[in-house]
Chain A
Amino acid sequence: MTLNQLSVKEANRALKLKNTTSLELTKACLERIKKIDRQIGAFITVCAQEALHQARYADRLISQGEEKPLLGVPISIKDNFCTQKVKTTAASKVLSDFIPPYDATVITLLKEAGAVIVGKTNMDAWAHGSSTETSDFGTTKNPWDTKKLPGGSSGGSAASVASDEVIASIGSETAGSIRQPASWCGVVGLKPTYGRVSRYGVVAMASSLDSPGPITKTVEDSALLLNILAGQDKFDATTSSEKPENYLKNLEKSISGIKIGISQDYFKECDRQVTQKVQEALKVLEELGAVVKEVKLFDPKYAIAVYAIIQRAEVSSNLARYDGIRYGLSRDNFKEEAKRRIMLGTYVLSAGYYEQYYNKAQKVRTVIIDDFKEAFKKVNLVIGPTSPSTALPLGASKGSPMFGEMADVLAEPSSIAGLPGINVPCGFSKDGMPIGMQIFGPQFSESLILNVAYQFEQNTQFHKIKPKL
């Protein structure tokens, strides 16, 4: 095992026991990136010098006995988080030369926790997509099969973790953008409750949905990172005043008696192999004492319509600031996908259409929220496949404007309801591609979700299988 393969927990232990240094660890990650990222293309920017500098600083602190939850641990960040003095592009040419003068709140928290940022990862431009194929800086490849897509929009983050280029990564999800690439790349991806983690400094996609979250090698790392990220932020008025929990606390708890709901509609459009692996996973959970029962939820297809309208409406407004006057390049650098969303969003908000589209979508959104509330009176959590298929081949998203909606169909209902969810690897297809299952629950149920995910992971060990690169 090489240093870059460590989990956060393992890295923390190694650093604490002085078995390694942050400098060695960081160098190992940078070496790995140097060696394989030409194949994977997970990074838009690698900040080697800054990372080495941060690592040396971390080592000094460690030698002084300082203890911080991420002290000296090299991580990657999706390129839609503003990082002071480090280029932040959101994978769009429009921002190809944009160097933010400030850090996103998430970055501030990570820096305070001692993290070493090795680079900024590739994504779909403006987070519009589920493939990274809309990136203006090339497509990221899936580490399990470089002829396949990593998923997206946080595809670079998921690929960087899956290929052990870093110890962990931070992504963001609007509807599926953490869970789906985590599923396709065989890693753990947590989308927290909307408002649990600050959006301040994250290039806005759909403001009422965007949720930053960790992409990690293990469930425990996910809990560890959420402990750092969760909490109210005075710079983000939509963050919740609800006190964050210690998400590591309940991992070991027995899940006996936990009621898990499954909805047939979530399996309808799935590949047979995906369905099969998720069903096997449910059996594992039953063996651990969980009670699996049918629950009636709205067909995810309604969520697609609602999501398509609300997300594009917000996108059309959020992208208006990129006028090239104060920073960035001119607007003719926007590509097809962004333009399509701007046009659609502008249309649904236009006088005479607002009622018909945006307003109606908001009403249906409320109905979906209520539907989940009802369901969570009967079950504690819902489990289903994360994505209907395993990773699709390169090029699959081209010419398919609703590609994202199809790949994320199973993440969209819980996203528009603002619910938390996680992807955990639950097996492999015959051709060796990872399959993921998602566990989602009521608002602020992260602790329970992580508990069930951890128990599953510890009893299956899929997370220990690594891609051959």
Chain B
Amino acid sequence: MNDKRLATSEFEAVIGLEVHVELYTKSKMFCSCSADYFGKEPNTHVCPVCLGLPGALPAPNKQAIKWCVAIGLALNCQIPTFSKFDRKNYFYPDLPKGYQISQYDQPFCVNGHVILSNGKKIRITRAHMEEDTAKLTHAKVDGKNVSLIDFNRSGVPLVEIVTEPDFESAQEVVEYLKLLQQTVRYLGVSEADMEKGDMRLEPNISLKRKGGKDLPKYKVEVKNINSFKFVERAIAFEIKRQGDLLERGQVPRQETRGWNEQKQETTSQRSKEEAHDYRYFPEPDIPPIRWSQTQIGVIKKSLPELPQVKLARFRSAYGLSFYDAKILTREKPTADYFEKAVLAGKKHGVLAKQVANLIINKKPDIITVPPVELVQNLIAQTTTRGISDETSNKIAQEIIDENPTVVKDYKEGKTNAIQVLIGKVMQKNQGKAEPRKVKEILEKLLGAR
């Protein structure tokens, strides 16, 4: 049952999301090891702290904490003035201390929201800070099945962003995810590169009777999905699976499932009964964090213009369509490039819309082609392609015919008079031609007389 089928069914989907975003701070969350682990030789970015050696203690990364708060502020969260870290106790070989330092009941950010394009408000429950685990690889070494552990990722800062179950479709989820990805990139706090596992997605999905007020009595969590496409498919799969069960009068089990890429389906991992008791308690190695309003104010001030605000401004300030503004604001560097080019073009009467079209259609390399050069190219193109020679000739002739006195002055040797004619032609063609070319045409026509 896909979303379309759902529209005709008696159930509707209730979906919430947990997203882990890996921050790209220079160092790890609790030690000074480099956090840049991707593709590095295993176990080279390690120290007593991220290996969980006896006696090692966490020293929190201030930058990571500020970035977590920045994410919260960008998602319209409140930042409580008191916050703390907690220990989440569980055993797994990729967790060297036997507990993960996370935040339990007093996270850095609470009660936020985002608005989707359909006007729907998605409530953000919380955004909190935690540390990543090591990476396990199951391999065969000398004919033996073994599990290899790479601790380079151990202790890399993660921000977990949790929503209320406010989504009703996979489309809404994907739109939110794209917005979230865009936001953390705008903030410059994460590359949010799906391929590198910078964003890990965990939707929880259940179905309720259409129009029903209460939340379903169960929920199914799908763990660690690393692409928007798979999240969409996993949700569709779950909606169908759960719908089929409900139609047969069964209630789906409350459980955690995993996304199987090969089979393109979700498979059961553990049920409610097997759920962990994480035995959270306040992390005694890190004193609680107390924020002053001034400190929060400073972080707030440092936030860049966020994607949705920029999009709205691009539409109103530059008269762009929603579609164009959306494309241009997708990535901050493109948006910045566009604005620089518009500024450069203004002097030559180049319109914002023209710059937008050029960037969208021609996709210039914004790193190698400076905005000024882009505008120059645009002007050159406009002369040859933007307005035909025929039209140029026609407009020039009209101007000559309409201004006999100026023509007379020119012919009598006042060569500067041609500037007047050029100006009038440019006015008439709305600046679409290159002045140099207009001059050539006028000279030719006047000479032919």
Contact = CB atoms under 8 A, between A and B. Distances in A.
B281 A349 contact: yes
Interface stretch (A36-44, A45-53, A94-102, A424-432): A94-102
Interface stretch (B87-95, B228-236, B397-405, B421-429): B87-95
A323 B287 contact: no
Contact of A203 (B54, B60, B96): B54
B279 A346 contact: yes
Contact of A201 (B55, B60, B277, B285): B55
B51 interface: yes
A354 B281 contact: yes
Contacts of A200: 55-57
Interface in B267-306: 277, 279-281, 284-287
Contacts of A203: 54-55
A208 interface: yes
A208 B53 contact: no
Given A101-B48, A317-B98, A321-B98, A236 B57 contact: yes
A323 B91 contact: yes
A203 B58 CA distance: 14
A91 B394 CA distance: 99
A90 interface: yes
Contacts of B285: 207, 236-238
A351 B276 CA distance: 10
B103 to A, nearest CB: 15
B197 interface: no
A349 B58 CA distance: 21
B84 to A, nearest CB: 12
A82 B55 contact: yes
Contacts of A93: none
Given A317-B87, A320-B89, A88 B284 contact: no
A464 interface: no
A204 B98 contact: no
Contact of A237 (B87, B99, B149, B286): B286
Given A320-B99, A349-B281, A350-B277, A204 B89 contact: no
Given A100-B54, A199-B57, A317-B89, A238 B287 contact: yes
A326 to B, nearest CB: 6
A237 B55 contact: no
B53 A237 contact: no
B287 A237 contact: yes
Given A238-B285, A313-B281, A349-B281, A321 B59 contact: no
A95 B277 CA distance: 28
B55 A321 contact: no
Interface in A96-131: 98, 100-102, 104
Interface in A179-208: 199-204, 206-208
Given A101-B48, A238-B286, A320 B98 contact: yes
Contact of B284 (A95, A101, A208): A208
Interface string A294-337: 00000000000000000001101101111101110000000000
Q: Is the interface of B mostly helix, strand, loop or mixed?
A: loop
Interface in B87-128: 87, 89, 91, 93, 96-99
A137 to B, nearest CB: 16
Contacts of A102: 48, 53
Contacts of A377: none
Given A101-B48, A326-B51, A237 B279 contact: no
B97 A321 contact: yes
A266 interface: no
Contact of B54 (A95, A316, A320, A358): A95
A103 B98 CA distance: 22
Most chain A CB atoms below 10 A, which of B48, B87, B279: B279
A342 to B, nearest CB: 11
Interface in B48-102: 48, 51-60, 87, 89, 91, 93, 96-99
Interface string A205-224: 01110000000000000000
Contacts of A313: 281
Nearest to A310: B284
B204 to A, nearest CB: 20
A234 interface: yes
Interface residues of B, number: 28
A98 B315 CA distance: 65
Nearest to A358: B281
A45 to B, nearest CB: 15
A101 B97 contact: no
A204 B281 contact: no
A80 to B, nearest CB: 8
Interface in A69-104: 80-82, 88, 90, 95, 98, 100-102, 104
A86 to B, nearest CB: 13
A199 B59 CA distance: 12
Contacts of A95: 54
B113 to A, nearest CB: 30
A234 B59 contact: yes
A237 B283 CA distance: 11
Contact of A320 (B59, B91, B93): B91
Nearest to B97: A321
Given A208-B284, A235-B59, A314-B284, A100 B53 contact: yes
Nearest to B55: A201
Contacts of A346: 279
Contacts of A319: 98
Contacts of A82: 48, 53-55
B286 A321 contact: no
A325 B58 CA distance: 21
A321 B281 contact: no
Contact of B59 (A90, A101, A204, A237): A237
Most chain B CB atoms below 10 A, which of A202, A321, A351: A321
A101 B52 CA distance: 12
Contacts of B280: 349, 354
B57 A321 contact: no
Nearest to B85: A237
Given A317-B87, A320-B91, A90 B57 contact: no
18 contacts: A100-B55, A104-B55, A199-B57, A204-B54, A207-B284, A208-B284, A236-B57, A237-B59, A237-B286, A238-B284, A317-B87, A317-B98, A321-B96, A321-B98, A327-B53, A349-B280, A351-B279, A354-B280
Given A82-B54, A354-B279, 19 more contacts: A80-B55, A81-B55, A82-B48, A101-B53, A102-B53, A200-B56, A200-B57, A204-B54, A204-B57, A206-B284, A207-B284, A237-B285, A238-B284, A314-B284, A317-B89, A326-B53, A351-B277, A351-B279, A354-B280
Interface of A: 80-82, 88, 90, 95, 98, 100-102, 104, 199-204, 206-208, 234-238, 313-314, 316-317, 319-323, 325-327, 346, 349-351, 354, 358
Chain A to chain B: the 7 pairs with minimum beta-carbon distance, closest first: A320-B98, A208-B284, A349-B279, A207-B284, A201-B55, A321-B52, A203-B54
